[in-house]
Structure 1
Amino acid sequence: MTLFDPTLPPAQYLAHADLIHDEAAVRLAIAELAAALKLSLHDSQPLVLCVMGGAVVLAGQLLPLLDFPLEFDYVQASRYHNQTQGQTLLWKVLPSHHVKDRTVVLIDDILDEGHTLAAIREKCLEQGASRVVIAVLAEKLLGHEKPIRADHVGLQVPNRYVFGCGMDVYGWWRNLPAIYALPEQVSPAALSG
């Protein structure tokens, strides 16, 4: 039995997960992201777009560390739909009309395969953004090229299903302050305990 079973109680996912980055490492990564963004964007008055729902945790911690004028909004597009594998891109909220002639900062929880972020970036450029900067809390190390690169990456994570800090497992555990990974497999006996 794999732990990619959506019928398990949420506590089972966490009970069998491996800690990848603890809360202190996450806080440090967010502080470093803020420092990098302040250095490169302090005089650009950017429009910051939070990619919902995963980036809400990162945005809530990152924005107070940015001591320059910015506007804030959000976009919502997903390929996962509370599943562990990507599907067709579904737009729920498109980038606002305020992107024209602006520096846009996309904030997301993770750069995984990159298809969702690539589509959001392209949509911002289509709507007239002069520049799109991408900042992610985590980038998954896949070992192959992605359709997009992040300008700022807080942490790297292995090619496993990760959750916490805005990332979910079947809709659960976005609220964790650390990043965990599901194991590839677990025995049925271990799940019953």
Structure 2
Amino acid sequence: MEEFTKKILVSSEQIEQKVKEIGKEITEDYKGKELMLVGILKGAAIFMADLARSIEIPVTMDFMAVSSYGSSTKSSGVVRIIKDLDSNIEGKHILIVEDIIDTGLTLNYITDNLNKRGASSVKICTLLDKPERRKVDVPVDYRGFVIPDEFVIGYGIDYAEKYRNLPDIFSLKEKKCD
């Protein structure tokens, strides 16, 4: 972390409160429906665990791993499925749980992919949203926080697979050399 400076963008207390609010909204919206949470690994794992505990109806959970970043701070725009779902989603209501949306390319691809598998509905829940980076319009049904176009770490979000364990979300900036 030596080459970076960080500042808290969203505190763990703010995250906890927002997750409870979103969980309550999802509970109301999906009463009487079979809901499957689909977490996008690895970044959404912590958010999805907390969110699932805040939803007061039975849910099933599965995960997908996709890549468009590698170890870079910028998306390549090419989406690859690294780990697919273990479950059949035909006839189920799917809620994609994502850590952050920026360009929208990854979620556009995943949403299209899951719709083609016969899901009853596919909606999107994200903890963080960077609308100013959007290249593809994706409908965000549940949103935690709108953030500026900055690279962030913490609460599941990494830089080169590190810093996911930080309880707050930090803005990460390269240090300038004099």
In the TM superposition, residue 42 of structure 1 has moved relative to its aligned partner by 2.2
TM-score of the two chains, using structure 1 as the length reference: 0.85
CA contact (8 A) 1:111 1:150 kept: no
Distance 1:144 1:77 in 2: 18
Which ranges in structure 1 are unaligned for 5 or more consecutive residues?
1-9
Which amino acid letter does the alignment assign opposite residue 56 of structure 2? D
Given residue 138 of structure 2, which amino acid in structure 1 is its aligned partner? I
Q: Structure 1 residue 186 and structure 2 residue 152: aligned?
A: no
- The equivalent residue for 2:37 is 48
* Closer, same or farther: CA 180–131 of 1 in aligned 2, 3 Å: same
Amino-acid identity (%): 20
How far, CA to CA, are the matches of 1:17 and 1:152 in structure 2? Answer: 27
Is 2:100 aligned against 1:85? no
* Distance 1:167-1:85 versus aligned 2 partners, 3 A rule: same
The residue matched to 2:75 in structure 1 has which SS? coil
Please point out which of 12, 20, 30 is paired with 2:9: 20
Residue pair 2:62, 2:87 contacting (<8 A) in 1 also: no
2:158 aligned with 1:162, yes or no? no
C-alpha offsets along residues 29-52 of structure 1, whole Å, 9 cap, x if unaligned? 111110111110122121111111
Aligned CA distance change for structure 1 residues 123 and 116 (closer, same or farther; 3 Å): same
The structure 1 segments of at least 4 consecutive aligned residues displaced by more than 2 Å after TM superposition are 10-13, 94-97, 143-147, 185-189
Q: Distance in 2 between matches of 1:186 and 1:69?
A: 46
Task: State the alpha-carbon separation in 1 of the partners of residues 157 and 87 from structure 2.
Answer: 27
Change over 3 Å in CA distance of 1:129–1:96 after alignment to 2: farther
TM-score (norm 2): 0.92
Q: For 1:1-193, what aligned pairs fall within 5 Å after superposition?
A: 10=1, 12-13=3-4, 16-87=5-76, 88-142=78-132, 146-183=136-173, 185-188=174-177
Instruction: Specify which structure has the higher proportion of strand.
Output: 2
Q: How many residues end up aligned between the 2 structures?
A: 177
Equivalent residue letter for 1:86: S
1:104 to 1:187, Cα distance in 2 relative to 1, 3 A: same
Aligned-partner residue type, residue 120 of structure 2: S
Rg (Cα) greater in structure = 1
User: What amino acid is aligned across from residue 138 of structure 1 in structure 2?
Assistant: L
- Residues in 2 aligned to 1:153 and 1:131: alpha-carbon distance in whole angstroms: 18
Supply the AA of the counterpart residue of 1:40: D
Per-residue deviation at 1:187? 2.3
Identify the structure with the greater helix proportion.
Answer: 1
Please, which moves more after superposition, 57-66 or 141-150?
141-150
- SS of match in other structure, 1:167: coil
The amino acid that maps onto 1:20 is L
RMSD of aligned alpha carbons: 1.7
Compared CA separation, residues 96 and 124, structure 1 to 2 (3 A): farther
